[in-house]
Amino acid sequence: MTTLVLASGSPRRRDLLDALGLRFDVLPTDIDETPADGERPAALVERLSRTKAEVALAARPDALVIAADTVVVVDDEILNKPADRHENRAFLSRLAGRAHRVLTGHTLLYDGRREYRVVNTEVRMRALDDGEILRYVASGEGLDKAGGYAIQGRGSALVSSINGCYFNVVGMSVAAVVDGARRLGVMLV
């Protein structure tokens, strides 16, 4: 069996690979995630996932390295992880009652070959009143999530619909990872 390395400290990404019954090592990478001037969201998540994968591959050149990076985009603006509860409230107020996009860049590196894919999912939040937003923000759940909410947790009550891959919104498209690994000659399922 090929050694797998997840180049991420995200508990959600670990949970997604665990759900497939895979054995893997976790190797979080510490990179600068600041967007370059004029960098579009899809280019950003591709670059960040690629950089994370390359850093991990340098430490584990024998492994299939899996990396991902997720952003929320509304009005062509990236909403990363909120810095504090005030910003979390502002994010949710902006997303309430409308659609936004969740983009995740996926990079898989193995045996000198690479697979890149950006997955785009549309998420529509239902209309939220100030009390709902404040109660969600007070839970603290959204503070370490792109866009300031977690679709797999309490934040599921904020979402009215999605068009695309649910797991992409959680933080990593399982289908994109499985397909990318298959193209690299590694069967994950």
Active-site pick, 69, 130, 144, 179 = 69
Beta bridge partners of 73: 78, 101
Is 37 assigned a catalytic role? no
Show the tokens assigned to 111. 């045996």
Residues contacting 27, CB < 8 A, separation 6+: 5, 6, 7, 56, 59, 60
Where residue 39 falls (left for φ over 0; alpha for ψ -120 to 50; beta otherwise) is: beta
Please, are residues 163 and 102 in contact by the beta-carbon 8 Å criterion?
no
Residues serving a catalytic function are 69
